[in-house]
């Protein structure tokens, strides 16, 4: 369509040029025919002034003949009897000219015709009409007959000569630079703007015809000029550039519409690509805190909203939990019936009056989207997106699909690679990797904790009670060493746990571990007849460059705690420190 518009524009330009050139030829022929029509009348008028016939009666016949000619043609303004020697100017309509005007008139021979015919420059009559004259100067007498053309009436014959629909044709007197013919009669006799805007300089450079563009009254004009005539006139024809452009507007509009649709398609595909790229990052994160941050970043980038809340759901405990900036979980609601009310592959946009119990806990009081996330028909999380205005359902569905898969994979991988299934703490391998990463970090300590008398509990009370003791110990450690204070909390073996944490100094580290030990001692686990108290032996050390040495030091301190009576906290002391 753009090619057709360009082709149509080129065709319109060629058509405008062709029409302008044709109009110039027609205008020149029309003017010349009007001028040539005066030749016979000049002969008749001159005949009445021959010496053999020059009496008072013959002068009277000249006046009658002149008046009859003027009556029959509106093109003629006046017929003049002029005597060059005495500068006597006799007007048939009694409209005399001043000597200054007579002297300013320039005559130019019409060379293409036989006979001494001349055409004058444009001049103004006392009645404010602009005229030019035609004469023949080979009279035997010292007398001349002028036939004056009224430019106002002569112009009307050129009004219908238009280039395209709104074009124009006008003629400029080259000697005076004034308009001889113009579609607007008020402009006749005034200076030509387009002629002085550049056509004059082209003529002065030697060109007699050609094209020219100029700017006039807020429009660009496209014109053709031709000065190849013996009248010393310049014929100009043209039109507005805007009219040429309008001839291809239907193709241009169609092209713009197609280009706009293409642009929209490109923008849509670009945004879709960006969205898919952002969603793919969800598959690359290694922890829940980063997952939540990336998910919120996606909503910030591709939707308008007032807030995003992300809640994890534990199928076993039926608890809904939020995540803080460091990835710590906080249980905010427990409701199995609410989880059962959600449906897979759904998203709902609901108002304040339909807010569910979890949304109320999250203090969501405006219109919002509820997006449950599922893995194998089991609810794993819920996303709440607050928004006063609807969001594209396509975007939300795409985000939901990617998020479900990414979160399910993250939870599964996290569970397989780093989580102990029973305690939901980190496993031994993950703990060792974290310890290696934090070696030589200031104010970082390592503790090893073992449940006291665990073999006895397992042997006398059964493995179920032993499992309960392990889970209770893990919960106590998790409560007392949240992130970021607790760097890594892990189950290292059956009844042994590892704690990597921050502390200001040895005393602060011992205080934190004692607080955990006391809390664990306050807990009891049930058995058939009475309750069984828990105790733990804890050894700790400041980490060193070798994580294996750090583990050995903490193990040595833990053994010291056992030897000193169990249920206590001991710090590793090197041989150098003992010697000192």
Q: What is the pLDDT of residues 61-103, one digit of tens each?
A: 788 888 998 888 888 889 998 888 888 888 998 888 988 999 8
Concatenated DSSP letters for 174-204? TTTTEEEE-SSGGGTTSBPHHIIIIIHHHHH
Which range among 314-318, 354-358, 391-395 shows the weakest confidence by mean pLDDT? Answer: 314-318
User: Which tokens belong to 9?
Assistant: 């524009």
Burial class (CB in 10 A: 0-12, 13-18, 19+), 475: middle
In this model, does residue 579 exceed pLDDT 70? no
Residue 249's pLDDT band (cuts 50, 70, 90): low
CA distances from 168 to 158, 245, 327, 429, 481 (A): 9, 17, 79, 92, 92
Rounded to whole angstroms, the Cα distance separating 388 from 305 reads: 7
In this prediction, residues 165-194 reach a mean pLDDT of 84
Q: What is the pLDDT of residues 95-128, one digit of tens each?
A: 889 889 998 898 888 876 666 889 888 899 988 8
Number of Cβ within a 10 Å radius of residue 257: 11
> Whose structure tokens read 């000192």?
580
In this model, does residue 471 exceed pLDDT 90? yes
The more confidently predicted of residues 379 and 50 is 379
What's the sign of the alpha-carbon dihedral 458, 459, 461, 462?
positive
In this prediction, residues 173-182 reach a mean pLDDT of 86
In this prediction, residue 188 carries a pLDDT of 85
DSSP H helices, 184-330, are 193-194, 200-204, 241-246, 249-281, 288-302
> Whose structure tokens read 């031709």?
226
Rounded to whole angstroms, the Cα distance separating 391 from 367 reads: 11
In this model, does residue 263 exceed pLDDT 70? yes
User: Which tokens belong to 210?
Assistant: 């050609």
Number of Cβ within a 10 Å radius of residue 415: 13
Q: What percent of the chain lies above the pLDDT cut of 90?
A: 39
Could you give the maximum distance between any two Cα atoms of the chain, in Å? 166
Number of Cβ within a 10 Å radius of residue 23: 23
In this model, does residue 55 exceed pLDDT 80? no
In this model, does residue 49 exceed pLDDT 80? no
User: Which tokens belong to 90?
Assistant: 């006799």
Residue 245's pLDDT band (cuts 50, 70, 90): confident
Residue 53's pLDDT band (cuts 50, 70, 90): very low
Concatenated DSSP letters for 417-448? HTB-TTT-SB-HHHHHHHHHHTTT-TTEEEEE
In this prediction, residue 295 carries a pLDDT of 93
Contact 234, 172 (CB under 8 A): yes
Cβ-Cβ contacts under 8 Å for 515 (sequence gap 6 or more): 480
The candidate with the shortest Cα–Cα distance to 309, out of 358, 374, 270, is: 358
Contact 22, 272 (CB under 8 A): no
Cβ-Cβ contacts under 8 Å for 8 (sequence gap 6 or more): 247, 248, 251
Rounded to whole angstroms, the Cα distance separating 27 from 10 reads: 26
In this prediction, residue 139 carries a pLDDT of 57
DSSP H helices, 136-181, are 151-156
Which range among 27-36, 111-120, 175-184, 341-350 shows the weakest confidence by mean pLDDT? Answer: 111-120
Rounded to whole angstroms, the Cα distance separating 334 from 314 reads: 9
Rounded to whole angstroms, the Cα distance separating 573 from 458 reads: 32
Half-sphere exposure of 421 (CA within 13 A, CB side): 2
Number of Cβ within a 10 Å radius of residue 106: 15
The candidate with the shortest Cα–Cα distance to 223, out of 83, 69, 499, 17, is: 17
In this model, does residue 54 exceed pLDDT 50? no
Phi, psi of 133 (to 5 degrees): -125, 155
Q: Domains in the chain and their CATH numbers? A: 10-244 (no CATH), 284-410 (3.30.450.40), 428-579 (3.30.70.270)
**Strand order, beta sheet including 378-386:** 329-334, 319-323, 307-314, 378-386, 368-375, 348-350
Q: What is the pLDDT of residues 326-348, one digit of tens each?
A: 888 888 999 999 999 999 999 99
Length of the chain: 580
Concatenated DSSP letters for 20-85? HHHHHHHHHHHHHHHHHHHHHHHHHHHHTT-GGG-SHHHHHHHHHHHHHHHHH-SSEEEEEEEETT
In this prediction, residue 51 carries a pLDDT of 60
Q: What angle do CA 131, 135, 138 make, to 5 degrees?
A: 165
In this prediction, residue 59 carries a pLDDT of 65
User: Which tokens belong to 283?
Assistant: 């598959």
Average pLDDT value for the chain? 87
In this prediction, residue 52 carries a pLDDT of 53
> Whose structure tokens read 């969001």?
391
Contact 375, 345 (CB under 8 A): no
Q: Which helix (H) or strand (E) holds 499?
A: strand 496-502
Contact 419, 525 (CB under 8 A): no
Q: What percent of the chain lies above the pLDDT cut of 70?
A: 93
User: Which tokens belong to 26?
Assistant: 């027609």
Which range among 35-39, 358-362, 368-372, 567-571 shows the weakest confidence by mean pLDDT? Answer: 35-39
């Amino acid at each position: 369509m753009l090619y057709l518009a360009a082709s149509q524009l080129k065709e319109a330009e060629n058509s405008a040029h062709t029409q302008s050139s044709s109009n110039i030829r027609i205008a020149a022929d029309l003017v010349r025919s009007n001028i040539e029509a005066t030749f016979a009348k000049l002969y008749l008028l001159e005949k009445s002034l021959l010496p053999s016939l020059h009496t008072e009666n013959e002068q009277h016949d000249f006046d009658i003949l002149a008046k009859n000619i003027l009556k029959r043609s509106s093109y003629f303004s006046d017929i003049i009897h002029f005597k060059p020697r005495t500068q006597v100017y006799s007007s048939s309509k009694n409209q005399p000219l001043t000597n200054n005007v007579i002297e300013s008139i320039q005559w130019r021979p019409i060379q293409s015709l036989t006979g001494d015919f001349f055409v004058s420059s444009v001049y103004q009559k006392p009645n404010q009409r602009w005229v030019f004259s035609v004469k023949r100067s080979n009279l035997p007498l010292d007398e001349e007959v002028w036939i004056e053309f009224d430019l106002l009436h002569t112009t009307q014959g050129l009004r219908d000569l238009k280039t395209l629909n709104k074009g124009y044709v006008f003629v400029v007197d080259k000697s005076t630079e004034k308009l001889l013919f113009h579609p607007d009669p008020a402009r006749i006799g005034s200076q030509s703007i387009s002629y002085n805007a550049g056509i004059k300089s082209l003529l002065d450079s030697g060109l007699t015809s050609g094209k020219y563009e100029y700017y006039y009254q807020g429009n660009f004009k496209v014109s053709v000029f031709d000065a190849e005539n013996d009248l010393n006139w310049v014929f100009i024809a043209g039109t507005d550039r805007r009219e040429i452009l309008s001839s291809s507007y239907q193709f241009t509009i169609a092209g713009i519409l197609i280009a706009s649709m293409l642009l929209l398609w490109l923008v849509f595909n670009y945004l879709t690509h960006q969205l898919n790229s952002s969603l793919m990052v969800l598959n690359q994160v290694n922890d829940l805190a980063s997952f939540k941050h990336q998910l919120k970043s996606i909503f910030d980038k591709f939707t308008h909203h007032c807030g995003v809340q992300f809640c994890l759901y534990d199928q076993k405990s039926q608890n809904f939990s939020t995540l803080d900036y460091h990835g710590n979980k906080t249980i905010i609601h427990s409701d199995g019936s609410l989880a059962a009310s959600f449906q897979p592959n759904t998203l709902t946009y609901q108002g304040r009056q339909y807010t569910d119990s979890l949304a109320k806990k999250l203090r969501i009081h405006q219109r919002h989207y509820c997006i449950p996330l599922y893995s194998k028909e089991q609810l794993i999380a819920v996303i709440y997106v607050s928004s006063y205005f609807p969001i594209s359902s396509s975007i939300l569905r795409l985000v939901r699909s990617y998020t479900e898969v990414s979160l399910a994979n993250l939870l599964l991988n996290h569970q397989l690679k780093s989580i102990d299934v029973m305690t939901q703490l980190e496993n031994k391998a993950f703990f060792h990797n974290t310890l290696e990463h934090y070696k030589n970090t200031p104010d970082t300590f390592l503790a090893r904790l073992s449940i006291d008398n665990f073999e006895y509990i397992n042997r006398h009370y059964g493995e179920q009670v032993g499992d309960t003791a392990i889970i209770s110990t893990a919960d106590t450690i998790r409560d007392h060493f949240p992130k970021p204070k607790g760097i890594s909390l892990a189950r290292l073996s059956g009844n042994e746990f590892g704690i990597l944490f921050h502390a200001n100094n040895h005393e602060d580290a011992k205080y934190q571990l004692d607080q955990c030990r006391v809390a664990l001692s306050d807990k009891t686990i049930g058995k058939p007849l009475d309750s069984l108290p828990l105790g733990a032996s804890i050894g700790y050390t400041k980490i060193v460059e070798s994580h294996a040495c750090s583990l050995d030091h903490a193990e040595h301190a833990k053994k010291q705690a056992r030897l000193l009576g169990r249920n206590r906290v001991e710090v590793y002391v090197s041989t150098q420190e003992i010697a000192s």
